[in-house]
Amino acid sequence: MKKKTRKYIFVVGGVISGVGKGITTSSIGKILQSHGYKVTAMKIDPYVNVDAGTMNPTEHGEVFVLKDGDETDQDMGNYERFLGTSLSRDNYMTTGRVYLSVIEKERALAYKGKCVQVVPHIPYEVIDRINHAVDKAGAEIVVIEVGGTVGEYENILFLETARMLKIKNPDDVLFAIVSYLPTPNTVGEMKTKPTQHAVRALNSTGIQPDFIIARSNTALDEKRKEKLALFCNVTPESVISAPDVESIYDVPGNFEKDKLGDKILKRLKLKSRGTSEAWREWEGFVRKSHSAKDEVRIAVVGKYFDTGDYVLADSYLSIIEALKYSAISQGKKAKLVWLSATTFEGKNPPLSELIGFDGILVPGGFGSRGVEGKLNVIRYAREHKIPYFGICYGMQLAVIEYARNVLGYKDATSREIDPKSKHLIIDIMEGQKENMEKGNMGGSMRLGAYPAVLGKGSIARTAYGEDKIVERHRHRFEVNPEYVEALEEKGLVFSGKSPDGKLMEIAELPTSAHPFFLGTQFHPEFEARPLSPHPIFTAFIKAAIVRGKGK
């Protein structure tokens, strides 16, 4: 029997983080897919947290939730979107997760009396996890991103794992280092030295990179390619110029211009199987994304923007991408403006600023900071008929706003904000009470995919074109069933409910009352893909376009 193809590509970082290792990993996956291979992608994060769920988004960016409920790094979202697939918890690991399972196995005598050591047992555990993920995905090639940069203590064991795998399977393992080439203003010349040092640091772990993905402001010239080749032990063709691009979706195409797909396949002793249909579709999407000119202006009102003196929208990455796809599908460019919720609090909040927008979105969130500002914004959007889309907390707050200002429950709130209030419109789920009391906060929310049933004639049902859906969740609180009847009597429609009718999944106003006022308890952004924009995002964008035209 012919041996099944199983190839491993490790993507590591050099010099600084944040220069596109995740996009490189996704793009390498994409181009190998385009050559006809079954590809999966994995992320190894060096931190000790078992998952990303317990971290503040300003600390670590968005928490991306997988179908199976795993709370992971935002790069997992990039892989899913680029590869057009859904990944599982097997595709994600952290130092904490790996150690936890080794310790649990040790406690269960799984090592049969052996002395359990950091090396080799931790690398063996990582290799087992990689192979398990490949088996589960039925993949021929796995692209594995190692978090952090080379030279850090944190990821050293993961590099050791990669080295061990290479020694055992020399033709099946390949390394790419994504490194940064700065052009200091005072010098005016692109510098290769930091990358040379990064490659040397990688060499000191026993690993020689096969490819250098050279990230820089502008394209690399031949001179720099040759220099890097000479000092880093690679051929000039193995230095891939990766200048800044307008859109991350240009990256796979740029890699292909450099024939990176063919070069990788050759190194792995594989042959191209011809261009796949999915690649043609992808190229169509990229073309369309560039030809879209007119803007649809969306205000995103949230609170996880500020880190020190910088404003980072990373916490809402999937929402940004989902809005982009839906806008592109309508031939438009999504122009997103970040508004901090707290600026809409206090005596005279600048709410009239909102009138200029075609749509307003309030994303997910936690805690009470900024809540009153969001409620003011939601009320304004409802009363001024500005298309409104609330996601998770944005849905819960829309229901609270309705209870306060339409039903007249002035103290309506969520238990998360004020547990002493008489009108807890949003309350804790039974099963969650115990978690909270025991301080069991990690991985214990309502997480991952759950089904919902949609009501006839609703915006949601029309958008999806079907009456049963499955969407990803991440929340502890729910619409309190005690108030559902009163809210519905006053015109709020719960158009999506759990199959047993107990949990409210979507709240909306009929189009006779408002052009688009809708909130989802789930996170539709995690299911949006470039080639299949999410129907609710598209419905929201369509309503925003209509408003834009009328202005």
User: Applying CB under 6 A, does 64 fall inside the site for ligand GLN?
Assistant: no
Strands 63-65 and 71-73: antiparallel
d(CA 80, CA 93): 16
Q: Has 456 been labeled as part of a binding site?
A: no
Catalytic residue among 473, 514, 523, 534: 523
Kindly state the smallest distance separating residue 440's Cβ from ligand GLN, in Å.
15
Helix axes 260-267, 21-34, angle to 10 degrees: 80
Kindly state the smallest distance separating residue 424's Cβ from ligand GLN, in Å.
12
Cβ 323 vs Cβ 541: under 8 Å = yes
Return the H-helix or E-strand segment holding 126.
Answer: helix 118-137
Task: Tally Cβ neighbours within 10 Å of residue 266.
Answer: 12
**Minimum CB distance to ligand GLN smaller for 324 or for 446:** 446
* Catalytic residue flag (residue 525): yes
Tell me the C-alpha to C-alpha distance, in Å, between residue 210 and each of 12, 218, 233: 11, 22, 9
Site for ligand GLN in 468-507 (CB under 6 A): 474-477
d(CA 359, CA 517): 10
Task: Tally Cβ neighbours within 10 Å of residue 154.
Answer: 15
**Minimum CB distance to ligand GLN smaller for 392 or for 459:** 392
Strands 7-13 and 173-180: parallel
Kindly state the smallest distance separating residue 474's Cβ from ligand GLN, in Å.
5
Closest residue to ligand GLN, Cβ-based?
364
Size of the site for ligand GLN (CB under 6 A): 10
Q: Has 416 been labeled as part of a binding site?
A: yes
User: Applying CB under 6 A, does 249 fall inside the site for ligand GLN?
Assistant: no
Cβ 448 vs Cβ 66: under 8 Å = yes
d(CA 22, CA 29): 11
Catalytic residue among 35, 71, 80, 392: 392
Report how many helices (DSSP H) and strands (DSSP E) the chain contains, helices first: 18, 23
Q: Has 365 been labeled as part of a binding site?
A: yes
User: Applying CB under 6 A, does 393 fall inside the site for ligand GLN?
Assistant: yes
Which residue of 14, 69, 302, 365 would you call a contact of ligand GLN, by CB under 6 A?
A: 365
Cα dihedral angle (82, 88, 89, 94), rounded to 10 degrees? -20
Kindly state the smallest distance separating residue 416's Cβ from ligand GLN, in Å.
5
Q: Has 465 been labeled as part of a binding site?
A: no
Q: Has 343 been labeled as part of a binding site?
A: no
Kindly state the smallest distance separating residue 364's Cβ from ligand GLN, in Å.
3
Catalytic residue among 121, 525, 527, 534: 525
Which residues, in sequence order, are CB contacts of 116 under 8 Å at separation 6+? 102, 106
| Residue found by looking up tokens 């599908």 in the block | 329
**Minimum CB distance to ligand GLN smaller for 5 or for 435:** 435
Kindly state the smallest distance separating residue 397's Cβ from ligand GLN, in Å.
9
Burial of 222 (0-12, 13-18, 19+ CB in 10 A): exposed
Cβ 78 vs Cβ 86: under 8 Å = no
Which one, of 76, 80, 14, lies nearest residue 51 by Cα? 76
d(CA 389, CA 523): 12
Q: Has 145 been labeled as part of a binding site?
A: yes
Cβ 61 vs Cβ 315: under 8 Å = yes
Kindly state the smallest distance separating residue 365's Cβ from ligand GLN, in Å.
5
Q: Has 304 been labeled as part of a binding site?
A: no
Bridge partner list, 504:
497
Bridge partner list, 520:
391, 506
* Catalytic residue flag (residue 534): no
Q: What is the distance, to the nearest Å, from the Cα of residue 90 to the centroid of all Cα atoms in its chain?
A: 17
Which one, of 502, 452, 462, lies nearest residue 479 by Cα? 502
User: Applying CB under 6 A, does 10 fall inside the site for ligand GLN?
Assistant: no
Q: Has 191 been labeled as part of a binding site?
A: yes
Which residue of 364, 390, 448, 530 would you call a contact of ligand GLN, by CB under 6 A?
A: 364
* Catalytic residue flag (residue 392): yes
Per-residue contact string for residues 413-432; x = within reach of ligand GLN by CB under 6 A: ---x----------------
Q: Has 394 been labeled as part of a binding site?
A: yes
Q: Which stretch binds ligand GLN (CB under 6 A): 3-11, 277-285, 358-366, 488-496?
A: 358-366
Kindly state the smallest distance separating residue 233's Cβ from ligand GLN, in Å.
47
Q: Which residues are annotated as a binding site for Mg(2+)?
A: 75, 145
Q: Which residues are annotated as a binding site for L-glutamine?
A: 365, 393-396, 416, 476
Return the active site residues.
392, 523, 525
Q: Which residues are annotated as a binding site?
A: 17-23, 75, 145, 191-196, 227, 245, 365, 393-396, 416, 476
Q: Which residues are annotated as a binding site for UTP?
A: 17, 191-196, 227
Write out the residues near ligand GLN by the rule CB under 6 A: 364-366, 392-393, 416, 474-477
